[in-house]
Structure 1
Amino acid sequence: MGNTHPGATSPLGMVSACAYSGAYPTGYGRYTKNTEGVPEEMFGQLQASGFTHFQQSGTGAIRKYYNYVRVTPMVQPLDVLGEAWPLRDEVAEAGYYAATLDTGVRCELTVGPKVAVHRYTFPEHTSARVVIDLSCGGLESELGRTVPVRAQVESMGHGRAQGTVVMEGVPLSVYLDVDSPGWRQMLWYDRRLIDGGTRLDFDSIRHTTLRPFGLLFMGPAVAGQTVEVRLGFSLRGCEQAKQNLERECGPAQQAFDAVRSRTRARWGEHLGRVEVEGGTPARRTVLATSLYHSLIKPCVTDDESPFWPTPGPFAFDVCTMWDIYKTQLPLLAAIVPDRAADLLESLIRICEEEGNFPIGYRMSRGADRFFRQASALAHTILADAHALGWAGLDWNWALVHMAGDLRRMYGEDFYEHGVVHPITHTLDLAYAHHCTAQVARALNDRRLADDLEDRGRQWTNAFDPDTGLLRDSEFYEGGKWNYSFRLLHDMAARIALAGGDKSFIDKLDRFFGFGAAPVTQPGRRPQPAEMLAGYALNRFEGLNNEPDMEAPWAYHYAGRPDRTAQVVKAALTWQFGTGPGGLPGNDDSGGLSSWYVWASLGLFPIAGQNLFLINTPAFARAVLKAGGNEFVIETSGHRETPIGVDGLDHDPPPQYVQSATLDGKPLHATHLSAATVHRGGRLHLRLGPEPSAWGQGSRPPSLSDPPAKPEEAR
């Protein structure tokens, strides 16, 4: 249910490549579309009809699913193109994927940021072929197809070809270089060869008129003969696609090993920015895999925007801000700040060009606004970036867009009434006003900052003072309990509104099921009544969704970091594993995996507040290379804990922080500023088997707190 795929990717790169079965939601695998319960099989076995490019990673119902430019090695007639063959002997590594089709062809894929290279090893055959299908898009499931509206393909001879397909308003261009000496090269349409033709043009394609089309390379093969297919991609035309191919593959043929080696080195360098010591092999594997998944999306590419002509970064597959703003964006800001800055520059440009910051943004014309999910979430990462002193952005221009975006869509009603339904958007907008106020104040626009901060205090309008929970409303993929423990900018006032520490902790305990009976999870095709009964429990969703991912750390604000340690330890132990099904829900472009990384390190970012909360780490020692500096988290008294989902039948009790030092000086607070972490330093945590008084008296900051002393602000 993680909805990831094992295909070849490059860190935050534009291109991915994977075996294509047409299954939900990445195009790889066996399962059909599913949003509740256990998924049903679409196919009885792993299979592939070829290998496609551009896959989602970990998303749910994202509506359109890419899988463009299918490449199929065949030893059968073109008539059977589209049929699938069983897969065996799969190998998946960072930047590399391989499998053998039931036809006997060994298939290997690797990618660079803007290129893909395929290598096929054929059995002996008199008429082997490699078929490029430029019409492919989407899934085989109902309503899953993506159809090009315009296309052109040109065969240029000598193993070279190029083409452009317009998918969802975006012109995706590809330049091909195929190393197949002596093979014939032809265009095809509707599974029929076009002998002697050099160009296909389609000015208007509809679902009813679409027939598959593309290119074919065909000839005899001796046993063990390899054919290499090199593809350069661009959103700005075939000439730029060719330049991308030449830049990443070079002029020489047989580029596969060189591209694979460079991508593997890039992954090694990126994954090396988080280092750990200790932990079981399974736990280290889950951490490394989580870090890998956190660095696949968004796609951040230079000079590739099809919507504005000027150079600069272009980001897509922001799927969606609702999924990634709490955990993944702070992780990218820490370990790949240059790419995170490029993402922000692209978001600002999207707002400038299209009129609003997107909640979701894919490789398609126009932002996916996902208006039901949330409002104004880009403001959190912008506020954090400014607090960290990122100088590469035009902050005055960014502030103009941040302030302007606050009055769009639900923001207009919030501006007029101070409350809006769905009620969760009241929290979003109040928080975004607070984040924007911090930037305005830092830029000395005090009048704007005061106005924004006043409106940011209207988060209280979302809560019912009689219950201490959110008011009745509609809720996206959750209920009022799931959203009621969001970490706001004034948690002290939030806890007071709930009746004080004890009342707030009692509600949290109920939410996390302390003392409650076990819950039965839904199976295949759960009935509506079964799902409603589950939602009515008003319980923590167990990390299979976004609304309450940060809720375990709400205990910190009520002086109970020991409760946070219990909940987080249980989640790390029982909800993640090394095999298929090792994620408790959709990975959502890396949002869930990023949660695991932070929780394992014993840190948790509070997006928009320049703040990290401290908790018991899962490893004896870790190094976070943030912004080029090393922040070390080390422990004494650490005890290894296994991962329970791997079949172990015991659950060691959690450990608790007894005391802490930062760079050798006592640290009584349960938090650090993000700036402190990014500057580097050494955090030492002494752990023990029983809860302690550490952190009970020095709580994370809230807006209504008196001004902090300089040593507390650190």
Structure 2
Amino acid sequence: MVSACAYSGAYPTGYGRYAKNTEGVPELLFDRLQASGFTHFQQSGTGAIRKYYNYVKVTPMVQALDALGEAWPLRDEVAEAGYYAATLGTGIRCEITVGEKVAVHRYTFPESSSARIVIDLSVGGLAIDLGRTVPLRAHCESLGHGHVQGTVVMEGVPLSVHAEVVNPRWRQMLWYDRRLIDGGTRLDFDSIRHTTLRPFGMLFMGPTRAGQTVEIRLGFSLRGCEQAARNLQLECGTEEPAFDLVREATRDRWRDLMGRVQVDGGTPARRTVFATSLYHSLIKPCFADDESPFWPTSGPFAFDVCTMWDIYKTQLPLLAALAPDRAADLLESLIRVCEEEGNFPIGYRMARGADRFFRQASALAHTVLADAHALGRAPLDWNWALVHMVDDLRRMYGEDFFEHGIVHPISHTLDLAYAHHCTAQVARALNDVHLAEDLERRSRHWINAFDPVTGLLRDSEFYEGGKWNYSFRLLHDMAARIALGGGDAEFIDNLDRFFGYGAGPVTQPGRRPPPAEMLAGYALNRFEGLNNEPDMEAPWAYHYAGRPDRTAEVVQAALTWQFGTGPGGLPGNDDSGGLSSWYVWASLGLFPVAGQSLFLINAPAFERSAVRIDDREFIVETSGHRANPIGADGIDRDPAPQYVQSVTLNGRPLDATHISAADVHRGGRLHLRLGPEPSDWGRKVRPPSASDQVFGLKETR
């Protein structure tokens, strides 16, 4: 549930130096790496940053309270899973670790007659235009004997914190507008506006000798201060310093998760990127068990689903493999949200209001529900789930889809058609044949989205992309979709154009690119790199046209050239781990087709890998694997791809370019023989499609 980070106010997490931008190279917001304190609850590499982020700032100081908000340089940073340390320019060494519902800070002070630790409850969001989040109402109180607590309501959501300092000799006080309230024990704010906001909070203060450490523990809850105090006691105990205890417990959990995937071979740089990507893939969504502020019952509550559009293709299938219990918890939480609010969320960012953000896509939860049911690994009431899946199809854009078989933005036609297909699979498995047949019939409306003359989507509005970006979705009937566009040759020609085969290099935009430059880039109708969610699955569309060699070339180029070990080592937003999980799957030589319980096969980046799924292992091993040479910057820079020559699954020849998700989850051994030239493997046996014929336009309208 809890994260913590050094806070500068920069985009996108509140850490760093950059201002927000959507085009070209980002501009510097600060000329140095700095922090004004340490905040809690951060998003992970997404564009939307104002909802439920960077709250409860803790600042260690040796200055007067007037200096609160000043930023000091950061140096000697150390970052590990569940641990962060740095030295502020004031000379204070700062260490932070987190547990499930707690954060523990440990500060090593220089000698001071009046050191202090300040908790600011007024902060939220970022120091950018329209980036600030202001509490709607708040209260805080001093309980005495090293204990304070408070609640802030941000975006309609109550966040409570109970804090205690492990140093009973220090004084504790409340403060408002950078002024101490001597003798006050409670502050209440019934309504706050941007124009009336003044900083407020609690502090601990006292003398320190050089090298003295002070620990402050914070327990959090979405159900009030009493539960926050219980959470703190449960994880930290009541007497001895708890920092090392919490850090080790969190480290053990990460070791267990990270240890579920092992890779051999490859360069050190590639293994570093892989391990980092695996870590990033498992940071979000956040789980706050028994903490929903919106319904009173116990059970899993997941937030920072920001958004399903980012994570449903790659991250959720990875979660289902590595942490199936948590994947089931996510589904239960999403179903509960649907029951309470009326529809499955596309984005769920812990905010009351009408901004659940459905513009990106429609009905994406259906894909992960269909996969979970096919695997039989989620102990849900599936009749209950099916009710909500069907009802959700009729909401928002779904009403027009139901009546006309087509909606705009046209990409939502594809979403809804696919969601009907996914829901039909669950209905058929539950023996509701009439419902399944009706849903499957409507799932064929995908054809209405395409122009049979161009083989691409019809003209429409598109979210963060154009019709080329969205035209190569992996639909449930790719055989019919390829035939609609003129067959394999035409489909491959369009894909080749999208990926720039035979085209000259382009100049990348710099800082503040003019509109004409950006429009010229968009007019290329080109693969933008993996920063664009609709593009993430496009390389694997070649599989359905019998050209897995092209997939190998594009994926190998992306793994080699778009990712690195240093700052800027991601080709765009990580989007809650969606991009990093793409890297994980691509490196393993697999790609999940969400909603179809299917994996596509490609040449892996490592000589051997093993994925532990419960008590089983799925092993991907190769013969003929060639490690790329290392460049001067430590990254492997030989772009020459390797191609699959032949495959066996558990010792039996496999001519197809796909395996079922059940094959992966039950464990086994996939052996790929690789070579430097394309082969005939995968050219004849295509991944499955819903039909072997083109559905006529008349039937779907």
- 1:354–1:366 CA contact under 8 A, matched in 2: no
1:603: which partner in 2? 590
Paired letter, 1:235: L
1:278: which partner in 2? 265
Paired letter, 2:575: D
2:188: which partner in 1? 201
Aligned: 1:351 with 2:338? yes
Distance in structure 1 (CA, Å) of the matches to 2:514 and 2:229: 52
1:630: which partner in 2? 617
Deviation at 1:370, TM superposition (A): 1.8
Deviation at 1:149, TM superposition (A): 1.1
Relative to structure 1, is the Cα distance of residues 381 and 650 closer, same or farther in structure 2, using a 3 angstrom cutoff?
A: closer
Distance in structure 1 (CA, Å) of the matches to 2:50 and 2:333: 23
> Which of the residues 190, 194, 203 maps onto 1:216?
203
> Which of the residues 73, 80, 96 maps onto 1:86?
73
Relative to structure 1, is the Cα distance of residues 445 and 643 closer, same or farther in structure 2, using a 3 angstrom cutoff?
A: farther
1:450: which partner in 2? 437
Aligned: 1:398 with 2:410? no
Paired letter, 1:629: R
1:558: which partner in 2? 545
Aligned: 1:35 with 2:22? yes
Paired letter, 2:425: Q
Distance in structure 1 (CA, Å) of the matches to 2:134 and 2:34: 23
> Which of the residues 206, 209, 233 maps onto 1:246?
233
Q: Deviations over 1:304-323 (max 9, x none)?
A: 00000000100000000000
Relative to structure 1, is the Cα distance of residues 367 and 117 closer, same or farther in structure 2, using a 3 angstrom cutoff?
A: farther
Question: SS where residue 347 of structure 2 aligns?
Answer: coil
Aligned: 1:268 with 2:255? yes
- 1:174–1:232 CA contact under 8 A, matched in 2: yes
Aligned: 1:574 with 2:558? no
1:471: which partner in 2? 458
> Which of the residues 579, 596, 617 maps onto 2:604?
617
Deviation at 1:154, TM superposition (A): 1.2
Distance in structure 2 (CA, Å) of the matches to 1:67 and 1:300: 17
Deviation at 1:644, TM superposition (A): 6.4
Distance in structure 1 (CA, Å) of the matches to 2:377 and 2:341: 25
Paired letter, 2:316: L
Q: Deviations over 1:264-284 (max 9, x none)?
A: 111110011111011110000
Question: SS where residue 302 of structure 1 aligns?
Answer: coil
Distance in structure 1 (CA, Å) of the matches to 2:44 and 2:608: 30
- 1:573–1:642 CA contact under 8 A, matched in 2: no
> Which of the residues 218, 222, 237 maps onto 1:235?
222
Question: SS where residue 108 of structure 2 aligns?
Answer: strand
Distance in structure 2 (CA, Å) of the matches to 1:192 and 1:303: 37
Deviation at 1:180, TM superposition (A): 2.0
2:114: which partner in 1? 127
1:316: which partner in 2? 303
Deviation at 1:297, TM superposition (A): 0.4
- Any stretches of 5+ residues in structure 2 without a counterpart? 694-701
Deviation at 1:143, TM superposition (A): 1.3
Distance in structure 1 (CA, Å) of the matches to 2:21 and 2:52: 15
Deviation at 1:390, TM superposition (A): 2.5
Distance in structure 1 (CA, Å) of the matches to 2:162 and 2:201: 13
Paired letter, 2:18: Y
Question: SS where residue 533 of structure 2 aligns?
Answer: coil
Question: SS where residue 174 of structure 2 aligns?
Answer: strand
Aligned: 1:675 with 2:662? yes
1:492: which partner in 2? 479
Q: Deviations over 1:387-408 (max 9, x none)?
A: 0013510100100000000010
Q: Deviations over 1:477-502 (max 9, x none)?
A: 11111000110000000110111111
1:180: which partner in 2? 167
Relative to structure 1, is the Cα distance of residues 544 and 349 closer, same or farther in structure 2, using a 3 angstrom cutoff?
A: same
Question: SS where residue 248 of structure 1 aligns?
Answer: helix
Deviation at 1:645, TM superposition (A): 9.4
Paired letter, 1:27: G
Question: SS where residue 191 of structure 2 aligns?
Answer: coil
Deviation at 1:367, TM superposition (A): 6.7
Aligned: 1:421 with 2:395? no
Question: SS where residue 86 of structure 1 aligns?
Answer: strand
2:417: which partner in 1? 430
Deviation at 1:548, TM superposition (A): 1.3
- Provide TM-score, normalisation by structure 2: 0.97
Moved over 4 A (4+): 642-645, 647-650
> Which of the residues 10, 16, 20 maps onto 2:3?
16
Paired letter, 2:446: W
- Which aligned pairs between 1:111-190 and structure 2 lie closer than 5 A? 111-190=98-177
Distance in structure 1 (CA, Å) of the matches to 2:462 and 2:140: 47
1:3: which partner in 2? none
1:589: which partner in 2? 576
- 1:172–1:233 CA contact under 8 A, matched in 2: yes
**Percent identity at matched positions?**
83
Q: Deviations over 1:502-548 (max 9, x none)?
A: 11111111110111101111111111111111111011111011011
Q: Deviations over 1:59-116 (max 9, x none)?
A: 0134436100000000000011011011111110111000100000000000001100
Deviation at 1:158, TM superposition (A): 1.0
Relative to structure 1, is the Cα distance of residues 321 and 368 closer, same or farther in structure 2, using a 3 angstrom cutoff?
A: farther
Distance in structure 2 (CA, Å) of the matches to 1:479 and 1:182: 63
Aligned: 1:51 with 2:21? no
- Provide TM-score, normalisation by structure 1: 0.96
May I ask how many residue pairs the two structures share in their alignment? 693
2:448: which partner in 1? 461
Paired letter, 2:294: F
Relative to structure 1, is the Cα distance of residues 648 and 93 closer, same or farther in structure 2, using a 3 angstrom cutoff?
A: closer
Distance in structure 2 (CA, Å) of the matches to 1:446 and 1:37: 52
2:511: which partner in 1? 524
- 1:575–1:645 CA contact under 8 A, matched in 2: no
- 2:628–2:637 CA contact under 8 A, matched in 1: no
Question: SS where residue 454 of structure 1 aligns?
Answer: helix
Deviation at 1:179, TM superposition (A): 1.1
Relative to structure 1, is the Cα distance of residues 102 and 371 closer, same or farther in structure 2, using a 3 angstrom cutoff?
A: same
Q: Which moves more between the two structures, 230-239 or 624-633?
A: 624-633
Deviation at 1:693, TM superposition (A): 0.7
Distance in structure 2 (CA, Å) of the matches to 1:366 and 1:684: 51
Distance in structure 2 (CA, Å) of the matches to 1:213 and 1:568: 51
Distance in structure 2 (CA, Å) of the matches to 1:176 and 1:649: 47
Distance in structure 2 (CA, Å) of the matches to 1:650 and 1:79: 52
Paired letter, 1:426: T
Paired letter, 2:499: F
Aligned: 1:686 with 2:679? no
Deviation at 1:246, TM superposition (A): 0.9
Relative to structure 1, is the Cα distance of residues 366 and 624 closer, same or farther in structure 2, using a 3 angstrom cutoff?
A: farther
> Which of the residues 666, 669, 683 maps onto 1:696?
683
Deviation at 1:369, TM superposition (A): 2.8
1:365: which partner in 2? 352
Relative to structure 1, is the Cα distance of residues 69 and 645 closer, same or farther in structure 2, using a 3 angstrom cutoff?
A: farther
Distance in structure 2 (CA, Å) of the matches to 1:650 and 1:317: 36
Relative to structure 1, is the Cα distance of residues 149 and 642 closer, same or farther in structure 2, using a 3 angstrom cutoff?
A: farther
Distance in structure 2 (CA, Å) of the matches to 1:642 and 1:84: 43
Q: Deviations over 1:110-168 (max 9, x none)?
A: 00011000000000011110001011111111111111111111111111111111111
Distance in structure 2 (CA, Å) of the matches to 1:380 and 1:628: 26
1:110: which partner in 2? 97
